[in-house]
Structure 1
Amino acid sequence: MSNNDSTEEKDGKREKRGFRLPDAYAILFFFLVLAAAATYIIPAGTFETEQSAEGIDVIIPGTYSIIDSNPAGFLDIFSAIVEGLVSTANLIFLVLIIGGVFAVIERTGAIDALVTKIIRITQNKEWLLIALVMIVFSIFGTLGIIVNAVIAFIPLGIILARSMKMDAIIGVSIIYLGAYVGFGVAILDPLTIGFAQEIAEIPLFSGAPERVVMYLITLAATMAYVIWYANRIKKDPERGILKDNPFPKDPPEAEGLGQQDMKLKHILVLLALAGGIGAYVTGVFVAEWSLGEMSAVFLVIMVATALIGRIHVNEMISTFIEGANTVLYGALIIGMARSIVVLLEQGMILDSIVNFMAIIMDPFSSTMGAIMMFIANGLFNLIVTSGSGQAAIVMPIMAPLADIMDFPRQIAVQAYTMGDGFTNIITPLSGVLMANLAIAGVPYTKWFRFALPLVLIWYVLGIIYIIVLVAINWGPV
């Protein structure tokens, strides 16, 4: 090979690297460095606080004062990462445990058997098949059980779409949108609702009844949109976004998905999962259980699953570790994101940022302030696509800002959750979205054209929810 060829090859590699999107960790580290630099620029300050009826320290508006600064040193940047990981260890381990337990459940074939049963029940009833599959995946999504793992089920979605003579967009939608509509209005997701409420210092998973209502309305609107599009291309394939090339890629390998007969062990495994989650929900509202008990419940579910499925203990452990490894990336990013807030708190500038935001938001009413939070979170999510990462960055600012703007912190949590969840389905920085589209062979521009109207529908609903929530003073705090 000549030197010229070698140079061209290197230049080609450089060009390819130049187009690579930055990893979420790289983005968060950039924000971490910015936070450290901000401690030298933004004046340090603090608010006075008082305890609410629920025992939470709430900011007293108008009490902000300047104090001595405490800028971050070089080593503080990296020490903050360690402290962020340590301070969020309970949540990190919960995510790892859920990932491992769900892998053991999947190994029994129970999830596939459930989907297969739905397919057979809804034979020749396309709209019912679409609705039921989306409902199943939305339940898993709202529990935080299957979010990133949804990628594994996209081949099944493509197979279903082919059988219904539709297109790859429908195949992606019934699986991906099903899971992410649940994730967007999360009810018991520890990574989003749980983490955000923990930061906001409000009771874990409080407000669940109202979130169930919002989840059902949003799910119904999403299913109606997907079914509308499905009926449109069923009548005339040319009206589809993919037109004369409904399946751009060859059928993906589904590894037997959608072909599993429902057996007694599958029913018992699904009952164990439902019973465990039911027990935990009861514990949260009756005995004030926390994330530690949630981890324990999932471990019990895993042992029960292994016994029912007759999985050897060594196989159970290896499967658990493999499953935990699949969510390790998302688990550790919680601590990485938290490190940014650690630096802001150590530099004593977090209250200064809150005060600056309060000055900007001062002309707005409580309702408009909450709506702006919702919209701003959606825009921020286009850059930081990690739900827990976004929570760690924005909730320490939004919770006290809600105090100042005189609406409950619970509404700030909901504004974050929907802002984070609703734009996930269109941001090109989402690894999950891009992987799903790659598997299905759907160009991003085509998907964007399909998904954007749905995002707008979600945002209209989200704004209505926030207006109602502020009007009823949805608490606590």
Structure 2
Amino acid sequence: MSSAKDVEPVQSKKLKKKFEMPDTYVILFLVLLLAVAATYIVPSGSFDRETIDEVERVVPGTYSQVEGDTIGFMDIFLALQEGMVQSGSLIFLVLFAGGAFEVVERSGAIRGGIIRAVNVTQGKEFWLIAIVSTLFALGGAIGAVANSVIPFVAIGIIIARALKLDAIVAVSITFGATFAGFNVGFLNPYTVGIAQTIADIPLFSGMLYRIIAFTVIVGVTILYTWNYAKKIMKDPSKSLVGVLEEPESKEDQLKAPFTTRHKVILGFVGLSLAFFVFATIQFKWSINHMAAFFIIIGLASGIIAGMNYNKTAVTFLEGCQKLVYGALIIGVARAILIVMEDAQILDTVVHALSIPLTELTPVFAALGMFVANGLLNFLVPSGSGQAMIAMPILSPLADMIGITRQVAVQAYQFGDGFTNSIFPTSGPLMASLAVAGVAWIKWARWMLPLLLIWALIAVIMLSVGVMIGWGPV
């Protein structure tokens, strides 16, 4: 028979159990259940649609209620299956891109290029920070480096230690720079590629305007990091986390080969992506072409790297495996929309959202989209998953309130990208901080002013985009 003393420790253990943030898949499944519940409450409705320049658009003012079906128990799981099937092209795009970039990374070309840039700029602190940050930002902009930035934070630590700086600088020039580029992602298949496909606008259209935004955001990020680094160089006590100490081992940690073969691989990847942009304009290539093209990039990179056929195949598949978690989120997110479409409540939701937004000017409506996507990113920190949820709503909503779908895509992208750098629900952020040994609260204190600057830039870019009628070009 147990005594009161025996019970107390068990109770105290239960009380001490920490709250665990639900996984993204758990959150999405709960949203799916909410969507199912909504089919019993929200009236079914539909807009008339018309096709303009081969794009189906909502006709404002044509909403009317229609007969709709509620969703049963088995329909929930059928929606998950159908979501995976309908999203197959996007899922395989993510997987094949992961496979291709894994082959490039395993070749040593990316690490070798970064280390070479570091060695060339040693003794020139500003240029070292600027060049390394730009390289990672470009990686984020084309989707080559995103979640995979985590191991590169260790290189940031080595660089920061050599400059007698701190771990915040190390995270900034690697993770921070990557997501500064990811914010715009002018050639990112996981964000812009998926969002534009859903919005039914040409793949990677509007690139020039995005490159301008990329240049401004990355430039501001470099200057912000450099300003903080200068303060530490003058007075180490200005560091928020303490200057990194020299390691006991003096062995040079900034050595990595950067061979002609590495240069050829990086050159080949760069030219391949440039050709794909050309092909999307000239030959109207789609998301399926891009998925297939990543297979070519992976195979050719493996051959150039000197990998045998087995090594290339295994490496490519390991890269695919790393992105299975993020890829399947697309299918789960699509299941939510399938439920809403089958019950015909998606147009009702769009209609309800359009009522308050039509009272705003198009500029403020676009900014509202930006803020809403930023808040959504707390729950759904997956860029591709958020695109699947947001863009089917934002696209017709953009038609209703008089802004272009290109602006809606960028509003989603800014909202998703910015908050990845500060929300604790972002897995890559928390992992990068763990590698560097930086407490989240310290990083948030450092990052918040930069985040506000980014937001101001987004407000300006979106406002100008609305005013110039930024379209598919």
Q: Give the shorter-chain TM-score range.
A: over 0.9
Deviations 1:204-253 (A, max 9, x none): 111111111111111111111111111111111111222xx3349x9799
Question: Could you say which residue in structure 1 is the equivalent of 2:243?
Answer: 246
Local SS of the residue matching 1:41? coil
> CA deviation digits over 1:39-59, x for unaligned, max 9?
11111000111111x211111
Separation (CA, whole Å) in 2 of partners of 1:68 and 1:31: 23
SS of alignment partner, residue 446 of structure 1 = helix
2:108 maps to what in 1?
109
2:351 — aligned with what?
355
Tell me what 1:56 maps to.
Answer: 55
Q: How does 1:61-80 map to 2 (within 5 A)?
A: 61-80=60-79
Distance 1:402 1:259, change over 3 A: same
Q: CA deviation at 1:68?
A: 1.3
State yes or no: 1:325 paired with 2:327.
no
| Separation in 2, partners of 1:17, 1:95 | 37
After superposition, the C-alpha distances for 1:68-125 in whole angstroms (9 at most, x for unaligned) are 1211111111111111111111111111111112121122211111011101110111
Query: Are residues 30 and 464 of structure 1, via their aligned partners in 2, closer, same or farther at CA, if it must alter by over 3 Å?
Result: same
1:425 has 2:421 as partner: yes
2:286 pairs with 1:290: yes
* Cα distance in 1, alignment partners of residues 178 and 166 from structure 2: 19
Separation of aligned partners in 1, 2:134 and 2:435: 22
Letter of the aligned partner of 1:321 in structure 2?
A: L
Which amino acid in the other structure matches residue 246 of structure 1?
V
What's the CA shift for 1:164?
A: 0.6
Task: Pick closer, same or farther for the CA change 1:305–1:257 going to 2, 3 Å.
Answer: farther
Shift in Å, 1:9 = 7.9
Alignment of 1:364-383 (within 5 A): 364-383=360-379
Indicate yes or no: 2:36 matched with 1:36. Answer: yes
Residues 85-104 of structure 1: pairs in structure 2 closer than 5 A = 85-104=84-103
1:419-457 CA-to-partner distances (Å, cap 9, x unmatched) read 110111010111111111111110110000011111100
Q: Distance in 2 between matches of 1:237 and 1:194?
A: 43
Relative distance call for 1:357 and 1:313 in structure 2 (3 A) is same
Measured in 2, the distance between the counterparts of 1:12 and 1:328 equals 39
Following the alignment from structure 2 to structure 1, what is the Cα–Cα distance between the partners of residues 227 and 154?
Answer: 22
In 2, Cα distance between equivalents of 1:252 and 1:14 = 43
- The one-letter code matched in structure 1 to 2:302 is A
Pick which of 404-413 and 8-17 moved more.
8-17
- 2:195–2:387 Cα contact (<8 Å) kept: yes
Q: Residue type of the partner of 1:182?
A: G
2:16 and 2:101 mapped to 1: Cα distance?
A: 36
What is the Cα deviation at residue 196 of structure 1?
0.9
Asked if the contact 1:139/1:182 (under 8 Å) is kept, the reply is: yes
TM-score, structure 2 length as denominator? 0.95
Aligned CA distance change for structure 1 residues 303 and 177 (closer, same or farther; 3 Å)? same
Question: 2:150 corresponds to which residue?
Answer: 151
Moved more, 8-17 or 414-423: 8-17
Report how far residue 261 of structure 1 moved: 2.2
For 2:267 and 2:431, locate their aligned partners in 1 and report how far apart those are by CA, in whole Å. 31
Match of 1:434 in 2: 430
Partner amino acid, structure 2, of 1:381: N
2:461 match: 465
Are 1:274 and 2:273 matched, yes or no? Answer: no
Counterpart of 1:372 in 2: which secondary structure?
A: helix
Q: What letter matches 1:112 in structure 2?
A: R
Uncovered stretches (5+) of structure 1, i.e. residues with no partner? none
Q: Could you say if the C-alpha distance between residues 366 and 123 of structure 1 is closer, same or farther in structure 2, counting changes exceeding 3 Å?
A: same
1:425 aligned counterpart, secondary structure: coil
Preserved CA contact (<8 Å) 2:167 2:438: yes
Contact 1:276–1:298 at 8 Å: present in 2 too?
Answer: no
The alpha-carbon distance between structure 1 residues 307 and 341, as it changes in their structure 2 partners (threshold 3 A), is: same
TM superposition shift of 1:179: 0.7
Q: Does residue 1:302 correspond to 2:298, yes or no? A: yes
Query: Quick one: distance in 2 between partners of 1:331 and 1:59?
Result: 29
**CA-CA distance at 1:180 after TM superposition:** 0.3
Q: Is the contact between residue 113 and residue 258 of structure 1 (CA under 8 Å) also seen in structure 2?
A: no
Cα distance between partner residues in 2 of 1:12 and 1:188: 52
Q: Determine helix, strand or coil for the equivalent of 1:188.
A: coil
Structure 1 counterpart of 2:82: 83
Question: CA offsets, 1:289-336, max 9 Å, x none?
Answer: 112221222222222222222111111111112221111111111111
Shift of 1:194: 1.0
Task: Give me the whole-angstrom Cα distance separating, in 2, the residues matched to 1:457 and 1:338.
Answer: 33
Normalised TM-score (structure 1): 0.94
Q: 2:77, 2:175 → 1: CA distance?
A: 36
Unaligned runs of 5+ in 2: none
Say if 1:186 and 1:192, in contact at 8 Å, map to a contact too: yes
Question: Could you tell which deviates more after superposition, 309-318 or 438-447?
Answer: 309-318
Shift of residue 476, structure 1, vs aligned partner: 3.5
- Helix, strand or coil at the partner of 1:364: coil
What is the aligned length? 471
Assess, with a 3 A threshold, how the Cα gap between structure 1 residues 457 and 38 changes in structure 2: closer, same or farther: same
8 Å CA contact 1:72, 1:343 repeated in 2: yes
Paired residue for 1:120?
A: 119
Aligned mate of 1:404, from 400, 404, 408: 400
For residues 3 and 156 of structure 1, what CA distance do their matches in structure 2 show?
A: 56
Quick one: distance in 1 between partners of 2:11 and 2:185? 46
Q: In structure 2, what is the equivalent of residue 176 of structure 1?
A: 175
2:283 and 2:290 mapped to 1: Cα distance? 12
Aligned partner (choices 374, 380, 385) of residue 384 of structure 1: 380
Provide the rounded CA distance (Å) in 2 between the counterparts of 1:37 and 1:348.
13
Does the alignment pair 1:27 with 2:36? no
Contact 2:164 2:244 in 1 (8 A): no
Call closer, same or farther: CA 1:285–1:12 in 2, change over 3 Å: farther
- Report the 3-state secondary structure (helix = DSSP H, G, I; strand = E; otherwise coil) of the residue aligned with 1:92: helix
